[in-house]
Structure 1
Amino acid sequence: MKFGLQLGYWGAQPPANAGELVVAAENAGFDAVFAAESWGSDAFTPLAWWGSRTERVRLGTSVAQLSARTPAAAAMHALTLDHLCGGRAILGLGVSGPQVVEGWYGQPFAQPLRRTREYVEIVRKVLAREAPVTSDGKHYALPYAGPGATGLGKPLKPIVHPLRADLPIWLGAEGPKNVAQTAEIADGWLAIYYAPRLAGMYNEWLDEGFARPGARRGRADFEIAASAQVVLTDEPEAEIERMRWVTSLYIGGMGAPELNFHAQVYRRMGYAAEVDEISALFQAGRKAEAAAAVPDELITDTAIFGDEAHVRTRLKEWEDAGVTMMLISVSDADQMRRLQTLVST
């Protein structure tokens, strides 16, 4: 099992030590570095900036939001980054949620599965550069022929010859239909809140996608990157306490009450009653109580905190469940150096 560094997206200011962490990750034997976006920093610029200090690690977006840019623009970002880093780019894509898509990007959220499929098809056409790119998709039509069109749109091929026509595309997916489609059309799955004890359920979803006619890959060459908090510590209780606040935010606040994909993930884990309580408290503005309502086991299902022996044992559970990469956040270079012994063995 490989390891990836998750830089995430920025808070109020850029992280002060991200460049140091990226170099430390490469030196520690990490396989990849990923950057995310929400509604502040973008996912591509940090990879180009800090990734320029690296020579080996793959550079991926986890995830670039579909509604932030057109499929052709995403392909341009990916092929540009791939050239700059010598063929190490991974294009990780995801739909985000209706609050961000409609509230921030001003785009419709409807039919996210169909939009994802059309988006990936166009990106692959750009990267293949076999013919001028056209699409008769419902969501992404090329050339555009809708309201306000001049009728002068011209199918084009990218001026720059992509370095790799098969540049890997990984998809962030949480629900069964989305995961199945990911297995069908993508090269990897960016899994959030992955719980090894539910591997059988995930495998059913994945196998459905692998079995579809024309599926791009099979299980043997498909990557599963699970984002997880992994911290070597003699005080796991402190880390669990810290995660209560983050977890309550994602359950109660990162999505509309009527549609929160993160909350649905935890419901599938068996925490429906807890999710209801946390959501109600958070949405009532009682954030401290919402955090306190997060049970320890809800956190430790999807995170690893403890000494080296405990972390090694738990990492083996993820690997045995089929995870090919642990995508982890690291707070400082010292923690990175402590993790190096786990990465190199």
Structure 2
Amino acid sequence: MKLGLQLGYWGAGPIDNAPELIAAAEEAGFDAVFTAESWGSDAYTPLAWWGAATERVKLGTAVAQLSARPPTSLAMHALTIDHLSGGRHIIGLGVSGPQVVEGWYGQPFGKPLARTREYVRVVRDVLAREDRVTNDGVHYPLPYPADAAGSTGLGKPLKPITHPLRSDIPIWLGAEGPKNVAQTAEIADGWLAIFYSLGLAPQYEEWLAEGFARPGARRTRDDFEVAASAQVVITDDVAAAIDRYRPSTALYVGGMGAKEKNFHAELYRRMGYGAAVDEIGALFLAGRKEEALAAVPDEMVRETMIVGTADEVRAQIKQWEAAGVSMLMVTARDVDTIRQLATLV
């Protein structure tokens, strides 16, 4: 089992002690650190700024949003930071959700599977630098069609001026549903599992197996990364830890996504919490957030956590490893916790 430090996206301001956290993670033997983006801070700038002080730890985005930049632009970011870090970059991508894609980026959300497949293909073509990059797909056509609205017809195929340090920078995809996970196994090098549940592990493996079995699949299960986000809390007071993370569970289930399409809510339904999801969502939509928090069952919070004494946490980590997780992505926010976690794997 490997450890990754998930720094995530910023709230009102930067993470004050991020440099100390990253230094502690590298010293403690963490495999990677990750940044994210929503509709505030971006994923690449903090990764480059903080990563400049590192020497060994891998630098990943978990996730960079597809709609935030065209695939050629993402590939430029990736090849640049990969050069600057000496080949330590991990490209983590995700589609986000319709509220962000259409409300913030002003782009259509439809056909996320097809968009992801096309996006990844263009990124790989840029990094391969074997020829000028063209794409006849409908989502990211290159060059821009001469007969399309606003076109001058002067676009021409190009290939990157800068030679990528690695043509095979690993691409990990954030995915939650069965079709997304299967496609991730087919076209990517790793899966970023935002809410991993041991109870669903057999289903996850079925979805992954479907992707690996497809013609032309890039990886096999043996060389494919499963990086699961998890709140790992070492404590004698499990109830207090659950209360601390109850608001986050309520927010993702009830407040992150539209009523008609919330991928996080759908995942918790698969875990067996359909009735709770309905109640939490209804309360959030009614503006009754405190009641929504109270409606989150303890076991629903515990489902995606690793919590208990040091010995109990060590045993639970072994369970996650046996279930197929190769990296735990933790959100530790103090140096002591980072050092303690490193002793448990």
TM, length-normalised to structure 1? 0.98
Q: 2:217 aligns to what SS in structure 1?
A: coil
**1:340, CA displacement in angstroms?**
2.4
CA contact (8 A) 2:134 2:143 kept: yes
**One-letter identity of the residue aligned with 1:271:** Y
Count of matched residue pairs? 343
In 1, Cα distance between equivalents of 2:28 and 2:238 = 23
Matched, 1:138 2:173: no
Q: CA deviation at 1:234?
A: 2.1
More deviation, 45-54/93-102: 45-54
Unaligned runs of 5+ in 2: none
User: What percent identity do the matched residue pairs reach?
Assistant: 71
The AA in structure 1 aligned to 2:176 is: E
- Residues 199 and 271, structure 2, Cα contact 8 Å, conserved in 1: no
Distance 1:247 1:261 in 2: 13
Quote the Cα distance in structure 2 between the aligned partners of 1:252 and 1:154: 46
Other-structure match for 1:172: 174
**Aligned AA (2:135):** S
Say yes or no: does 1:320 pair with 2:288.
no
Partner of 1:206 in structure 2?
A: 208
Distance 2:285 2:19 in 1: 36
Q: Is the partner of 2:91 in helix, strand or coil? A: strand
Greater displacement, 51-60 / 98-107: 51-60
Q: Write the distance in 1 (CA, Å) between the matches of 2:58 and 2:198.
A: 25
Aligned mates of 1:93, 1:157 — CA distance in 2: 22
Structure 1 runs, 4 residues or longer, greater than 6 Å off: none
Q: 2:232 is paired with a residue of what secondary structure? A: strand
Is the 8 Å Cα contact of residues 253 and 280 (structure 2) preserved in structure 1? Answer: yes
Q: Output one character per residue of 1:272-297: Cα deviation in whole Å (capped at 9) or x when no partner.
A: 00100111111111111111111111
- Is 2:154 the counterpart of 1:157? no
Q: Map of 1:51-90 to 2, 5 A cutoff? A: 51-90=51-90
Q: Indicate the residue corresponding to 2:96 in structure 1.
A: 96
Give 1:210's aligned amino acid.
F
Aligned equivalents of 2:270, 2:251: Cα separation in 1: 18
In the other structure, the counterpart of 1:279 is: 281
* 1:303 aligns with one of 305, 310, 329: 305
TM-score, length of structure 2 as denominator length: 0.98
Q: Distance in 1 between matches of 2:276 and 2:260?
A: 16
Q: Does 1:28 align with 2:28?
A: yes
Q: Contact 2:59–2:88 (CA<8 Å) still a contact in 1? A: yes
The correspondence for 1:228, drawn from 221, 227, 230, is 230
Q: Distance in 2 between matches of 1:235 and 1:271?
A: 24
Distance apart, 1:233 and its partner CA:
1.6
Aligned-partner Cα distance in 1 for 2:236–2:12: 30
Q: In structure 1, what is the Cα distance between the partners aligned to 2:322 and 2:223?
A: 16
* Alignment partners' CA distance in 1, 2:47 and 2:344: 25
2:195 aligned residue: 193
Give 1:43 shift: 0.6
Query: Residue 343 of structure 2 aligns to a residue in which SS?
Result: helix
Mean Cα deviation higher: 92-101 or 333-342:
333-342
Distance 1:241 1:87 in 2: 40
Q: Distance in 2 between matches of 1:299 and 1:314?
A: 15
